[in-house]
């Protein structure tokens, strides 16, 4: 049973089961894959859709680390429902990049990517210009966060310094945003339904499983940021902010 993040004298600490750490790490890897695919698409060097849709390849094959990470996930990889789930998570079944233009300023058609790389203005022209200037560095910083989070998830217990905690939190949030997009969470009622689904116990479908992961990562993030809020000094701020 996992124990939540709490502040200690040496940073934030959470005791997670090894399979929980592995699942979170794999989710981070899948979001990295999704962002890297976007990079390939906008740079005009994307994989053909036939390739990305091949049934034989789990998403992490693109990263070239298939065996190392997958070997301990399932006894029978070919028959694992998780493979299907992770392909779905990474948007590999959703016709990624169908509308991508050569200049790369078109917003992503995939809902999870669109949520991670949102429009910066309600004016489409301004949003496109902003995207052209800022999207690639945003993708890079997200990928760096997610990689750092994977590294942190290798330690037991998971221990984060004050500097590492926000990075881990951002990565965890990107995982949650991706899961939420895949689960179709669009309002508070949808989110509540997902939490109820997660509370029902043993996951029978891909969506059940995603719901459980969403609830778990939400709980983990809530405990981390509640702990982090405790330690921000509130010195003269309240006096200075009179507006």
Report the distance separating Cα 119 and Cα 98, nearest Å: 18
Could you tell me which residues come within 8 angstroms of residue 201 by beta carbon, excluding any fewer than 6 positions away?
Answer: none
| Shortest distance, position 192 Cβ to other proteins, whole Å | 9
Q: Which is nearer to other proteins, 45 or 188 (CB)?
A: 188
In the complex with other proteins, which residue's Cβ is closer, 90 or 185?
A: 185
Rounded to the nearest whole angstrom, what is the least distance from the CB of residue 89 to other proteins in the complex? 15
Please, which residue, 17 or 192, has the CB nearer to other proteins? Answer: 192
Name the residues that contact other proteins, by CB under 8 A. 116-122, 126, 130, 134, 137-138, 141-142, 145, 166, 169-170, 173-174, 176-177, 180, 185-188, 190-191, 218, 221-222, 225-226, 228-229, 232, 234, 237-238, 240-241
Give whichever of 106 and 228 is closer to other proteins, judged by the CB atom.
228
Q: Tell me the closest approach of the beta carbon of residue 173 to other proteins, in angstroms.
A: 4
- Kindly tell me which of 82 and 130 has the beta carbon lying closer to other proteins: 130
- CA 129, CA 132: separation in Å to the nearest integer? 5
CA–CA dist 149, 172 (Å, integer): 8
- DSSP SS3 for 171: helix
Q: Residues 41, 94: contact at Cβ < 8 Å? A: no
Q: Which phi-psi region, left, alpha or beta, contains residue 63 (left: φ > 0; alpha: ψ -120 to 50)?
A: alpha
Give the separation between CA 243 and CA 67, rounded to whole angstroms.
Answer: 56
Instruction: Give least dist CB 238 to other proteins, A.
Output: 4
Residue 141 C-beta: closest distance to other proteins, Å: 5
Q: Which is nearer to other proteins, 62 or 197 (CB)?
A: 197
Closest contact distance (angstroms) between CB of 179 and other proteins is 9
The Cα 11–Cα 169 span in angstroms is: 14
* Whether 209 contacts 203, CB under 8 Å: yes
The neighbour count for residue 171, using CB atoms within 10 Å, is: 27
């Amino acid at each position: 049973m996992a124990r939540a993040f709490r502040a200690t004298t040496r940073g934030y600490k959470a005791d997670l089961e090894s399979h929980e750490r592995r699942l979170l790490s794999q989710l981070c890897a899948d979001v990295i894959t999704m962002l890297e695919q976007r990079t390939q698409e906008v740079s005009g060097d994307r994989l053909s859709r036939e390739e990305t849709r091949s049934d034989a390849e789990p998403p992490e094959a693109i990263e070239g680390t298939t065996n190392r990470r997958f070997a301990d996930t399932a006894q029978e990889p070919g028959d694992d429902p998780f493979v299907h789930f992770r392909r779905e998570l990474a948007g590999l079944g959703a016709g990624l990049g169908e509308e991508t233009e050569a200049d790369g300023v078109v917003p992503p058609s995939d809902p999870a990517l669109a949520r991670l790389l949102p429009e910066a203005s309600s004016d489409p022209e301004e949003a496109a210009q902003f995207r052209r200037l800022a999207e690639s560095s945003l993708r890079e910083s997200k990928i760096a966060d997610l990689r750092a989070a994977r590294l942190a998830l290798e330690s037991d217990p998971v221990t984060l310094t004050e500097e590492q905690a926000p990075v881990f939190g951002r990565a965890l949030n990107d995982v949650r945003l991706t899961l939420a997009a895949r689960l179709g969470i669009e309002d508070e009622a949808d989110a509540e339904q997902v939490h109820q689904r997660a509370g029902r116990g043993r996951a029978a479908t891909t969506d059940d499983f995603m719901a459980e992961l969403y609830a778990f990562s939400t709980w983990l993030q809530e405990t981390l940021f509640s702990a982090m809020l405790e330690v921000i000094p509130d010195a003269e701020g309240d006096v200075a902010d009179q507006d």
